[in-house]
Amino acid sequence: MTILATEGLSLSFGGVRAVDGVSLSVPENFVFSIIGPNGAGKTTLFNLISGVYAPDDGSVRLAGADVTGLKPDRLARCGLSRTFQNLQIFFRMSAIENVMVGRHRHERTGVFADLLHLPAVGRQNRETRAQAEAALDRVGLAGLAGQSAGSLAYGDLKRLEIARALASEPKVLLLDEPAAGCNPVETAALEGVIRGIAAGGVTVVLVEHDMRLVMNVSDRIHVLANGATLAEGTGAEVRSNPAVIEAYLGVHGAREAAHAAH
Ligand SMILES: Nc1ncnc2c1ncn2[C@@H]1O[C@H](COP(=O)(O)OP(=O)(O)O)[C@@H](O)[C@H]1O
Ligand SMILES: [Mg+2]
C-alpha cells in the first residue's frame, strides 16, 4: 500500500523552480530515500510534504487522503512527522524535556498548562513522560534522558531530534540529513536506529548525502536534480545509472555506493 504520495508537486522561489513537478509514491514500511546534489530541492520537497510551504501546483496524499497545504501541526496529527536539517534543540532543557515538547502536539492540555502545573494535567503528564522515554529508547538514548541537551555529543543530538519527531507517534517520518556532521561511528549508530524505526512499523523518508548509509538502509531511492526527478529505483539500479553518476555520485561516489552494499 502507498502511504505517502506526491503528484506533480511544484514550488518556485522567484525565478527558481526549487521543486519542479515531482511525483513519487512511498510504499508503507519502506525506507525511501531522496538523494541529489546540493540545491536539488530535497529540503523544499520535505517542506512541501510536511506543510511548511504550500505548493504552486500538485498534491500530497497521506494514507490516501489529500493533505495538500495542511499545516505541520495538522499533518502531525494525521501521522506525519519530520526532523530538520539544522538542529532544533533546546540546549538548556534535558533530553527528555526536548522530546516531551514534541509529544505535546498530541495532547489537549498543551505545553502551557503543563508548565503551570495545573492538576488536570498530572496523569497526562505521566503518559507523556512514558512515551518520551519510549521514544528515547528507540533511538538508543534511554540512558541520557535526564542529561542536559547542551552536554550531549553531536551524534546524540541528531538522534534526540529523531526521538522528538517519533514522540508524536507518526506513521511516516521524514529525516532531513540525519548523518550530516556525524562521524562514521555516529553514522553507523544511525543506521541501526533507522532500521529499528522501520522495523517498528514507521515508514521512513530519508534525505541524506552519506551514500553508505543510504545504500545500506534504503528499500528504494528517488534521485532529484534541479528540482526534478532524475531517476528512481533500488540502490543497485540508482548507483549504476549513468545520469545519476554524472549529476550526483561521480565515479568516486558510485564506487563508494557499490562498496557499501557489500
Ligand atoms: N526559502 C527560500 N527562498 C528562496 N530560495 C530558496 C528557499 N529555499 C530553497 N531555495 C532554493 O531552492 C533550491 C532548492 O533548495 P533546497 O530545497 O534547500 O535543496 P537541497 O535540500 O536539495 O540542498 C535552491 O536553489 C535554493 O537556493
Ligand atoms: Mg537540504
- pLDDT tens column, 16-73: 999 999 999 999 999 999 999 999 999 999 999 999 999 999 999 999 999 999 999 9
**Pair 63, 177 in one domain:** yes
Range with lowest mean pLDDT among 63-72, 222-231, 241-250: 241-250
Last residue of a domain, one of 120, 136, 169: 169
**Pair 204, 226 in one domain:** yes
Residue with cell 504550500: 54
**Pair 262, 175 in one domain:** yes
CATH assignment at residue 29: 3.40.50.300
Instruction: Please provide the distance, in angstroms rounded to a whole number, between the alpha carbons at the two ends of the chain.
Output: 29
**Pair 178, 65 in one domain:** yes
**13: Cβ below 6 Å to ligand 1?**
yes
Distance 237 CA to ligand 1 centre (A): 27
Distance 118 CA to ligand 1 centre (A): 43
**Pair 140, 99 in one domain:** yes
If one residue of 11, 12, 16, 50 were mutated to test the ligand 1 pocket, choosing by the most ligand atoms within 8 A of its CB, it would be 16
Residue 39 Rama label (left phi>0; alpha psi -120 to 50; beta): left
β-pairing, 172-176 with 65-66?
unpaired
Last residue of a domain, one of 130, 151, 169: 169
In a domain, 135, yes or no: yes
User: Which listed ligand is nearest to 84 at the C-alpha?
Assistant: 2
Phi, psi dihedrals of residue 204, rounded to the nearest 5° = -115, 125
**44: Cβ below 6 Å to ligand 1?**
yes
Distances (CA, A) of 135 to 79, 112, 162, 165, 197: 15, 22, 8, 9, 10
Range with lowest mean pLDDT among 87-101, 167-181, 202-216, 238-252: 238-252
| Domain boundaries, position 129 | 90-169
In a domain, 84, yes or no: no
If one residue of 43, 44, 82, 208 were mutated to test the ligand 1 pocket, choosing by the most ligand atoms within 8 A of its CB, it would be 44
CB 90 within 8 A of CB 97: yes
Closest residue by Cα to atom 8, ligand 1, is 44
Q: What is the DSSP letter of 52?
A: S
Q: Give the helix/strand (H/E) hosting 188.
A: helix 184-199
Residue with cell 496529527: 77
The atom of ligand 1 lying closest to the CA of 37 is 22
Task: Report the DSSP beta bridge partners of residue 203.
Answer: 172
Last residue of a domain, one of 169, 194, 217: 169
In a domain, 85, yes or no: no
Distance 247 CA to ligand 1 centre (A): 17
Q: Which of 60, 67, 46 is nearest to 5 (CA)?
A: 60
- Overall number of domains in the chain: 2
Distance 172 CA to ligand 2 centre (A): 19
**Pair 44, 108 in one domain:** no
In a domain, 5, yes or no: yes
**Pair 129, 67 in one domain:** no
In a domain, 221, yes or no: yes
Q: Which of 222, 191, 179 is nearest to 49 (CA)?
A: 222
**Pair 58, 186 in one domain:** yes
CB 216 within 8 A of CB 183: no
3 vs 26: CA distance, rounded Å = 6
Distance 18 CA to ligand 1 centre (A): 6
Side chain identity at residue 89, one-letter code:
I
**Pair 60, 106 in one domain:** no
**Pair 204, 254 in one domain:** yes
Q: Which of 21, 20, 10 is nearest to 56 (CA)?
A: 10
The string of pLDDT tens digits covering residues 175-215 is 999 999 999 999 999 999 999 999 999 999 999 999 999 99
Closest residue by Cα to atom 27, ligand 1, is 39
Read off the pTM.
Answer: 0.91
3-state secondary structure of 58: strand
Q: Which of 97, 184, 192 is nearest to 139 (CA)?
A: 192
